[in-house]
Structure 1
Amino acid sequence: MSKQPIKRITSIKEIAQLAGCSIATVSNTLNNKGRISQEVREKVLEICEKHGYVPNSAGRNLRRQTMETVGLLFYPSTSAIFRNIFYAEIMEALEATMESRGYDLLLSGFDSSVADQHTPRFIRQGKVDGIILLGGFPRSEVRKLLGFSLPLLHLDSYRERIKIDYITTDGYAACGQIVDHLVNLGHRRIVFMAHAHEDTNADQREAGFLAAVNRHDLPKTLNPSMRDFYRTDDGYERLKPLLLGKRPPTAVICVNDTLAVELLEKLKDDGFSIPRDLTIFGYNDDRHSRSSSPPISTVKVDKAGLGRIGAETIINRIQNPETSVSSVLLPVELVHRGSEAPPKA
C-alpha cells in the first residue's frame, strides 16, 4: 500500500488545530513574539516544517511597512557581477545569510554607464527595504541613491565623507606588508599598478604602498605608482619601457588578481620569465591567481566574511535605523606562491 503524501498546509488556523493552541500563539511563534513555552514553540515549528508551511509575508510586511527585500547594485552594470569571480564568491555568502534571516535579495538590470539610465525601478517603486552597493561606486552615484532615504551599505568599498555603513578589507596595511616582504627578499625597485577608475580601495592600497616606500627610504623615482591607464594593455605598454631600462623594476604589486594574471600572460608572451625576471603580487586570492602558471602571490580576502557581515549589517540598519554608522575593515593575510623570488643579482 502506497504511503499517502503529507498534506501541505497554507494557513495558521490549520497549524493551530494540529498544535492544539490558539491562532495567536502560532502567530507569535512565527514572528518570534510573546511568551511562548519552548515545548509549544518547537511543536508549532515542527508542524510547519512537516507540512511545508511558509508564512505569507505580505500581511506581516503591510503591518510592519517592510518588504523583507534588499536590492543589490553593482557598478557599472549589475549584469557584470556574473563575470566577476571575486564578487561571485561574496554573493554566495551574502545570499545565504539573507535567506537565513528571512530576506530576499533583488538584483536590478541597472546600468550606471548609460547616461540617461533611470534609477532602478525597485527603488522608485519602494520595493526594497535597503540597498547594497557592491564594489566601487563613484561618489556621485552614492549621493544620488542617498536621496531616496533608504538604508545603504557599501560592500567592499567606501566613499570618504559619505556617512553610510561600509565593509571592506584593510588594503592599506596589506600593501604595506607586501612592500616589507619584498624588501626583505632584497627588492629595491617596486612598481604599484592600478587602473585609473575612481576607486577608494585602490586609493588605500596605493597609499599603503607609498607609505611603505617612504618608510624603507626607497627612491620614489624607482618605486612609482602607475594609475594612468584604463585597460591592462595600456598599463603594460607603460610598464614595458621601465622593464627594458637600465634600472628596471624587480617587482610589481597589482591592485587585484585580475590585473596580475593579465600582466603575467603579457610578460610571458614577450619572453619574460616569472619570477626570475620579475616578481608579481596580486590582491584578492581569486581562483585565477591559484591556477595561473606560475601561481600568483596575493592577499587573501575573507570573501565569505564580507558577504555574511554585509548581510547582517544591512539587516541591522533596516531594523535599527538610528544606530551609529558601522565602518568595518576586515584583516587580510599574504599568500606566498610561485610568482615571487629574490631579485636577480
Structure 2
Amino acid sequence: MAVGRGGTKLKDIADLVGCSLATVSNAINGRGRMSEDMRREILAKCAELNFVPNSAGRSLRLQRADAVGVIYAPSFAELFGNIFYARIMEGLSETFGEAGLDLILGNRKDSDGLPSIVRQGKVDALVVLAGVFEADAYESLRNCPVPVCMVDGHVGALEADAVTSDGFGGGRLVAEYLVREGHQNVRMVAYKNPLYNIEQRIAGFLSGLRASGVEAREDDVVIRISDNAEAGERVLDSLESGEAPTAVFAVNDTLAEYLATELQKRGKNVPGDVSLVGFDDDPIARRCEPALTTVGMDKRVFGSISAGLVLERLAKPEKPLVHHVQPTRMVIRDSVSNLGG
C-alpha cells in the first residue's frame, strides 16, 4: 500500500497492519488490551514510516496539553543567572521529558494575576519556583484551574503540592556545628522578606543554639537586612562593637560570598577575625576565598522530585496534598575556625 502525499496518517498505519484506528492509537499511547506481538508490529511500522502522532489533535481529543508551565519571579533572565534554580530546572526538564511532557516558561500574567499560559489552556499543571516570590503573589493562584506545585517554598493556605529543602534542619546543623567549634557569640544575617525558606532557616538556627546551651534571643542573634549592602555595614559594625561575634551565618551563599569580600576589603580575615557559613552549596561557595562552609543538597534531585509530584497529581487528581522536605547536609570547607570548644 502506498502512503498518501500528505504524509503518514493513523489510518495508514491501521490499514498496513490490518487493525482498527483505536488499536493503533492505544499501542502508541501504551493503553488498551492487545497482544504484545500486535503492539510491537504497530510500533515497528510507525518507526519504519517515521510516523509522529499529531499531538495537537490528540490534546484536543483528550483535553490535555502535554505540557507543564513554569513561572519565576521577577524574570526568566534572572532565573538562568541563578545557579540554584538552573540546577532545579535540569531535574524538572529531564523528568518531564522522560514522561513526554514539554516545559513552557510563562511569566506574562492576565489582569487577575493568573499566568496567561494557564488561562489559554496551554499547560496541564503549573510549577512555581517559589523561593523568590512575594507572599501576596500567591493569592492569584488560589483559583488556578490546573494543579500547582510549589518548588522551594510552601504556603499552607494554598491547595498545592510543595517541595522544600529542610531549612529548619539545615539551620540547626549550622548552629550545632558552630558551637562544637567553640563559637558562642554568633549572628545570623537574613533578608526582611518573610519567605518560608528564610523563616525556616532562622527557626532552625535558633533551635540549634538553644539545644546546644547557648542563650539565643532572635532580636539579639538575627540581623534582618533589606539588601546585601546593608548586610555588609551591619556585620562590620557588629565586629567593631564590644560584643563582636566570632561567627556569622548568612542565609544563602550569595550573601555569604558578598560578606567575605566586604570583610576582606576592610582588612578583616575570614576565618581569622570572623568565621562565615552560607546555605545552598552553590558553585560560588567553592570559588569563594576561603572556600565556604555551607549547607547543601542535590538540586537536580530536588527538581526531579518536584516533577514526580506533578506527574502523580496528574495521574491521581484527588490524592492528598504532599509537602516533601528534602534533607540537607553540612559541607565543611575552610571558612570556620576552631576556637578550641
Same fold (TM over 0.5): yes
| Residue of structure 2 equivalent to 1:274 | 270
More off after superposition, 274-283 vs 165-174: 274-283
The 8 Å contact of residues 68 and 102 in structure 1, kept in 2 or not, is answered as yes
Distance of aligned partners of 1:39 and 1:338 in 2 relative to their CA distance in 1, 3 Å threshold: farther
1:125 to 2:93 alignment:
no
1:178 to 2:162 alignment:
no
1:224 to 2:250 alignment:
no
* Cα separation, 2, equivalents of 1:218 and 1:283: 21
The 8 Å contact of residues 76 and 111 in structure 1, kept in 2 or not, is answered as no
| Residue of structure 2 equivalent to 1:144 | 140
Secondary structure, aligned partner of 1:83: coil
* Cα separation, 1, equivalents of 2:6 and 2:198: 53
* Cα separation, 2, equivalents of 1:27 and 1:94: 28
Secondary structure, aligned partner of 2:321: coil
Q: What is the deviation of 1:22?
A: 4.2
1:326 to 2:339 alignment:
no
Give the TM-score normalised by the residue count of structure 1: 0.89
Q: What is the deviation of 1:98?
A: 1.0
Query: Considering only aligned residues, what root-mean-square deviation do their CA atoms show, in Å?
Result: 2.5
More off after superposition, 47-56 vs 208-217: 47-56
Q: What is the deviation of 1:158?
A: 0.7
Per-residue deviation, residues 25-58 of structure 1 (Å, max 9, x unmatched): 2211111111233333334334444554332122
Q: What is the deviation of 1:240?
A: 1.0
Unaligned runs of 5+ in 2: none
The 8 Å contact of residues 13 and 45 in structure 2, kept in 1 or not, is answered as yes
The 8 Å contact of residues 281 and 339 in structure 1, kept in 2 or not, is answered as yes
> How many residue pairs align between the two structures?
335
| Residue of structure 1 equivalent to 2:310 | 314
Which residue, out of 285, 289, 292, partners 1:293?
289
Per-residue deviation, residues 207-249 of structure 1 (Å, max 9, x unmatched): 001111222232336961112x221011111111111122311
Distance of aligned partners of 1:245 and 1:127 in 2 relative to their CA distance in 1, 3 Å threshold: same
The 8 Å contact of residues 128 and 149 in structure 2, kept in 1 or not, is answered as yes
The 8 Å contact of residues 118 and 145 in structure 2, kept in 1 or not, is answered as no
Which residue, out of 136, 157, 164, partners 2:153?
157
Q: Percent identity?
A: 35
Which residue, out of 11, 14, 18, partners 1:13?
11
Distance of aligned partners of 1:63 and 1:250 in 2 relative to their CA distance in 1, 3 Å threshold: same
* Cα separation, 1, equivalents of 2:108 and 2:293: 35
Q: Map 1:69-88 onto structure 2 (within 5 A).
A: 69-88=67-86
* Cα separation, 2, equivalents of 1:97 and 1:155: 15
Distance of aligned partners of 1:111 and 1:272 in 2 relative to their CA distance in 1, 3 Å threshold: farther
The 8 Å contact of residues 93 and 308 in structure 1, kept in 2 or not, is answered as yes
